[in-house]
Amino acid sequence: MIPGSDHEDWRGPVADELAPAPVTATTPRFRGAIWEVRTDRVTLNGDDVDRDLIVHPGAVAIIALDHAERVYLLRQYRHPVGMMLFEPPAGVMDRAGEAPLLTAQRELVEEAGLVAGEWHTLIDFLTTPGSSSEAIRIMLARDVSPAPGGRIVTGEAEEVSLPGAWVPLEEAVRLVMTGRLLNPSSVVGILATAAARDSGWSTLRSADEPWELRDELLASGRVFTFGR
């Protein structure tokens, strides 16, 4: 686009919206434990093209913030990148019909051994919309305390040992901005928490706010369904 010209200038509202292109054929490629890969034949601007996509179940992550404004981060191995990453407690939405808040509360106990007295919806985002349907809702948990009985270990392998650290929010922001924290939920969640704090928490949404994005993905067949 030439600066100052009208060529392809967008004049509508700046907001993402659901606008699925027509799919004329679908070819399954792979189905694993928590996602599947398929190829859709899609009509885009008059052309029929093939687009591969990863169908993901979606997930929630939790920024647990204590009274001293410290964020709880877990150290967990992630095999696709061969790295130990510091990230907030999180989990895929693997229970049909479970509300994001209930998933978040369960995962906070299972991965961090924590419970919270105050919950809010912090931010929603798409991790890799060029290749995956994964949508994540990050919840903000405050007034946190140890769960009775401690952490409930329900996973295996990577989840058997999940050492954690309480990191001051300002230090966490610095670690993100200097490239020391790379997990997307860490990056998005920490920066969103800092922004929410700086706004006097005015941007926080209710913990049970409907997740319209996930509903739209479900309706269009872009959410992995367990047990099929």
Q: What residue ranges do the domains of the chain occupy?
A: 1-55, 59-214
Average pLDDT, the chain: 92
Q: Is the dihedral of CA 6, 46, 213, 110 positive or negative?
A: negative
> pTM (2 decimals)?
0.91
Structural contact between residues 50 and 58, judged by C-beta atoms closer than 8 angstroms: no
| pLDDT at position 226 over 90 | no
Q: Is the dihedral of CA 157, 159, 161, 164 positive or negative?
A: positive
Separation of alpha carbons 31 and 11, rounded Å: 41
| pLDDT at position 202 over 70 | yes
Residue 227, sorted as left (phi over 0), alpha (psi -120 to 50) or beta, turns out to be left
Q: Look up 159 and say whether it is catalytic.
A: yes
Mean predicted confidence (pLDDT) in 70-77: 96
| pLDDT at position 155 over 70 | no
H or E segment to which residue 71 belongs:
strand 70-78
The residue with tokens 């070819």 is 27
The active-site residue, picked from 69, 159, 209, 216, is 159
Structural contact between residues 168 and 68, judged by C-beta atoms closer than 8 angstroms: yes
Q: What is the pLDDT of residue 151?
A: 73
Q: What is the pLDDT of residue 4?
A: 54
Mean predicted confidence (pLDDT) in 69-94: 96
Q: What is the band of 49 on the pLDDT scale with cuts at 50, 70, 90?
A: very high
Q: What is the pLDDT of residue 153?
A: 73
| pLDDT at position 121 over 60 | yes
| pLDDT at position 7 over 80 | no
Q: Which fold has domain 59-214?
A: Nucleoside Triphosphate Pyrophosphohydrolase (3.90.79)
Candidate from 31-40, 100-109, 152-161, 180-189 with smallest mean pLDDT: 152-161
Mean predicted confidence (pLDDT) in 186-196: 98
| pLDDT at position 97 over 70 | yes
| pLDDT at position 92 over 90 | yes
Separation of alpha carbons 7 and 73, rounded Å: 46
Q: What is the band of 162 on the pLDDT scale with cuts at 50, 70, 90?
A: confident
∠ CA 224-181-37, rounded to 5°: 20
Q: Strand, coil or helix: what is 76?
A: strand
Mean predicted confidence (pLDDT) in 194-214: 97
Mean predicted confidence (pLDDT) in 108-127: 96
- Which residues are CB-contacts of 218 (< 8 A; sequence separation ≥ 6)? none
Structural contact between residues 38 and 52, judged by C-beta atoms closer than 8 angstroms: yes
Q: What is the pLDDT of residue 227?
A: 73
H or E segment to which residue 49 belongs:
strand 47-55
Q: What is the pLDDT of residue 228?
A: 64
| pLDDT at position 3 over 70 | no
The closest alpha carbon to 61, from 92, 98, 86, 94, belongs to: 92
Q: What Å distances lie between residue 114 and 151, 198, 228, CA to CA?
A: 7, 25, 33
Q: Strand, coil or helix: what is 160?
A: coil
Mean predicted confidence (pLDDT) in 19-37: 94
